[in-house]
């Protein structure tokens, strides 16, 4: 039987160490909403989402009460809209009408974000893909809850450099279209390489075409719990350190597994995966950077950071896969800047640069995340940043992503405030030498040699 | 259904009695009680079975919240699975 110490340990994690389930994300296939008539597509999409997800928020709240564990977000991901709207949309504005429908449906069912305003163009772009991509700035400016992502490369296909170049421009246009709100639109736009079909975390969630009609994916969290556990073994060697991280990750993931199973059985929707990511928030004590400091770095960005992060990420996975048979999504430590107080402090102290963050993305999920850069950064430079990150993903057979925010009207040293879970960020300097001739060559970078496994 | 009830707060006369009375009134069977005092703070855990209770979980926890406020302690009621899942393989 369970004892008082175990009960207290769990409740301390929840009450004092920010243990929560970060998100229950309901993936909904919209493939059956395809129609050549735009009004009909919009109507079917609204109908499908609001009927499938009508009990999502109330179910989440009931589970919170039953187990006494906060479930911070209830969200929805849908089939990439470029596929769903392709037959009906003739211009970018047509796609924007679908974005508005998604926003309206999200508001109706009470979720704070809906992901899947997406295009998968890792090898080439269809006409519909390109229309959707070109509609992103307006779609994100005119909606509140819609999140967008574009997959521009994969280990199997190589990098679509035309799409990379276009996304450089789209990120900048999105920043411009939302400049009144510190270019907030870019916080809802992710450029991926090797994007997973079952990621529950925003802004990059979408419901892949290989998925069932509807599926429940759960993202767990708990950087604060890992940090507190490591405080107790401060002077121990790596063996003890790794054991502690693994055990903690196991405990955190089991809670996620429980919540996922409950949500699945109560809603009658199959369970998909648990995403094991350590997802920080701006709250004190809920930081991945603080874990790295606890491991022994004065500040994140110091030499040793990449090794410490690699070890942390690997141990989290090893503990997590023991706790759930179905692990997927991104599953690793997130290293966003604006959403992690320790990262913000490291940037402000001059310890952390974009180049070091890039190195860190080689060993963890997911990529350059929530990084504010000067608003006058050229589109070609943003495309270069995307290309670098995508190349890391392609060569290392892992997911990488770029979510940078060129803050229009702001420069290095200034601060942007996004609010809520998105936090705030100091504007970071970007290498000012040009890569324009490289990113505008056109065509594809071929798939790497080790992708030919057949 | 098994539930775990935890009570934390300033120690005072009759905490266990009042919680137990409430549970008995609602046909909740107590299976195990452990209790410690940490720095003058009362800390109790009960494992109970509420399958005989006519009241739904939500109402029961609502009543416990109210009782906690009356006594001046924090009473938390959770389904047992969150603990067994986390601490047992």
Query: Do both A145 and A225 map to the same domain?
Result: no
Query: Do both A185 and A222 map to the same domain?
Result: no
- The residues of chain B scoring below 50 in pLDDT are none
Tell me how crowded residue A411 is: count the other CB atoms within 10 A of its CB: 12
Residues 6+ apart with CB under 8 A from A365: A277, A313, A330, A331, A332, A333, A334, A398, A399
Task: Give the full edge-to-edge strand order of the sheet including B73-79.
Answer: B29-38, B41-49, B2-10, B73-79
Domain end, chosen from A193, A209, A232, is at A193
Integer CA distances (angstroms), A234 to A201, A237, A291, A342, B44, in order:
31, 9, 11, 18, 30
Cross-chain Cβ contact B85/A257 below 8 Å: yes
Q: Is B81 in CB contact (< 8 Å) with chain A?
A: yes
Query: Do both A128 and A184 map to the same domain?
Result: yes
Domain end, chosen from A143, A160, A193, is at A193
pLDDT of residue A419: 80
pLDDT of residue A365: 73
- Residue A177 in domain: yes
Cβ atoms of A443 and A162 closer than 8 Å: yes
Domain coverage including residue A425: 218-448
Tell me how crowded residue A31 is: count the other CB atoms within 10 A of its CB: 13
Query: Do both A245 and A180 map to the same domain?
Result: no
- Residue A202 in domain: no
Question: What three-state secondary structure class fits A444?
Answer: strand
- Residue A19 in domain: yes
pLDDT of residue B41: 87
Cross-chain Cβ contact A258/B34 below 8 Å: no
Among partner residues A9, A67, A255, which is closest to B79 by beta-carbon distance?
A67
Residues 6+ apart with CB under 8 A from A284: A341
B31: nearest CA in chain A?
A1
Query: Do both A356 and A442 map to the same domain?
Result: yes
Q: Is B80 in CB contact (< 8 Å) with chain A?
A: yes
Query: Do both A158 and A224 map to the same domain?
Result: no
pLDDT means per 10 residues, chain A with 454 residues, are 91 91 96 97 98 97 95 97 97 98 98 97 97 98 97 98 98 97 95 96 95 96 92 95 96 94 96 92 90 96 97 94 91 90 95 97 90 97 98 96 96 90 90 97 96 88
pLDDT of residue B89: 86
Query: Do both A152 and A25 map to the same domain?
Result: yes
Q: Is A93 in CB contact (< 8 Å) with chain B?
A: no
Among partner residues A3, A62, A68, which is closest to B76 by beta-carbon distance?
A68
Number of domains in chain A: 2
What is the DSSP pairing of strand A214-220 with strand A21-28? antiparallel
Which pTM was predicted? 0.94
DSSP string, A53-90: TTTHHHHHHHHHHHHT--EEEEEEEES-HHHHHTTT-S
pLDDT of residue A129: 98
Measured between alpha carbons, how far is A100 from A143 in angstroms, rounded to an integer? 6
- Residue A201 in domain: no
- From A197's Cα to the closest Cα of chain B, the distance in A is 27
- Residue A374 in domain: yes
Chain A positions touching B46 (Cβ under 8 A) are none
The distance of Cα A236 from the centroid of its chain, to the nearest Å, equals: 33
- Residue A213 in domain: no
Cross-chain Cβ contact B78/A254 below 8 Å: no
- Percent share of chain B, pLDDT over 90: 82
Does the N-terminal peptide bond of residue A439 adopt cis geometry, omega within 30 degrees of 0?
A: no
- Residue A443 in domain: yes
The distance of Cα B8 from the centroid of its chain, to the nearest Å, equals: 10
Q: Is A2 in CB contact (< 8 Å) with chain B?
A: yes
Measured between alpha carbons, how far is A246 from A251 in angstroms, rounded to an integer? 9
- Find tokens 């919009």 and name the residue: A42
Query: Do both A135 and A59 map to the same domain?
Result: yes
CATH of the domain at A147: 3.20.70.20
- In order of their start, the domains of chain B are 2-87 (3.30.70.260)
């Amino acid at each position: 039987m369970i004892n008082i110490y175990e009960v207290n340990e769990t409740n301390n994690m929840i009450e004092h160490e920010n243990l929560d389930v970060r998100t229950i994300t309901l993936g909904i296939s919209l493939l059956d909403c395809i129609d050549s008539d735009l009004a009909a597509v919009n109507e079917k999409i609204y109908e499908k989402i609001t009927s499938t997800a009508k009990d999502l928020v109330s179910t989440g709240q009931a589970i919170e009460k039953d187990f006494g564990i906060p479930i911070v977000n209830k969200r929805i991901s849908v089939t990439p809209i470029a596929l769903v709207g392709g037959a009906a949309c003739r211009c970018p504005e047509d796609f924007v009408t679908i974005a508005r429908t998604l926003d309206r449906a999200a508001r109706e069912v009470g979720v704070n974000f809906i992901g899947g305003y997406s295009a998968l163009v890792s090898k080439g772009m269809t006409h519909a893909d390109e229309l959707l991509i070109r509609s992103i700035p307006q779609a994100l400016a005119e909606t509140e809850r819609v999140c967008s992502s574009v997959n521009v490369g994969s280990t199997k296909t190589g990098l679509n450099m035309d799409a990379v170049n276009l996304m450089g421009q789209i990120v900048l246009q999105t920043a411009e279209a939302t400049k009144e709100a510190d270019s907030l639109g870019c916080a809802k736009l992710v450029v991926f390489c090797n994007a997973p079909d079952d990621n529950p975390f925003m802004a990059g969630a979408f419901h892949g075409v290989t998925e069932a009609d509807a599926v429940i994916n759960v993202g767990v969290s708990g950087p604060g719990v890992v940090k507190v556990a490591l405080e107790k073994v401060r002077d121990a060697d790596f063996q003890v350190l790794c054991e502690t991280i693994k055990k903690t990750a196991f405990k955190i993931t089991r809670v996620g597994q429980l919540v996922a199973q409950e949500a699945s059985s109560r809603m009658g929707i199959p369970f998909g995966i648990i995403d094991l990511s350590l997802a920080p928030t701006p709250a004190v004590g809920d930081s991945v950077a603080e874990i790295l400091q606890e491991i022994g770095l004065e500040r994140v960005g110091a030499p040793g950071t990449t090794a410490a992060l690699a070890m942390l990420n690997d141990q989290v996975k090893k503990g997590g896969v023991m706790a759930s048979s179905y692990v997927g999504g991104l599953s690793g430590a997130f290293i966003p800047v604006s959403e992690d107080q320790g990262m913000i402090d490291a940037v402000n102290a001059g310890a952390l640069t974009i180049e070091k963050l890039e190195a860190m993305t080689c060993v963890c999920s997911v990529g350059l995340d929530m990084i504010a850069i000067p608003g006058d950064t050229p589109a070609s430079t943003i495309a270069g940043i995307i290309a670098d990150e995508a190349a890391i993903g392609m060569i290392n057979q892992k997911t990488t992503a770029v979510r940078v925010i060129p803050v229009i009207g702001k420069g290095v040293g200034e601060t942007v405030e996004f609010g809520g879970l998105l936090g705030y960020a100091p504007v970071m300097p970007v290498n000012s030498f040009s890569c324009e001739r490289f990113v505008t060559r056109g065509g594809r970078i071929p798939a790497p040699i080790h992708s030919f496994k057949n | 259904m098994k539930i775990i009830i935890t009570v934390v707060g300033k120690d005072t006369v009759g905490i266990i009695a009042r919680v137990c009375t409430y549970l008995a009134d609602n046909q909740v069977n107590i299976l195990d009680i452990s209790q410690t005092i940490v720095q003058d703070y009362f800390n109790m855990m009960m494992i109970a079975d509420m399958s005989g209770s006519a009241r739904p979980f939500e109402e029961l926890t609502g009543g416990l919240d109210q009782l906690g406020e009356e006594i001046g302690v924090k009473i938390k009621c959770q389904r047992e699975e969150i603990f067994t899942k986390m601490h047992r393989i």
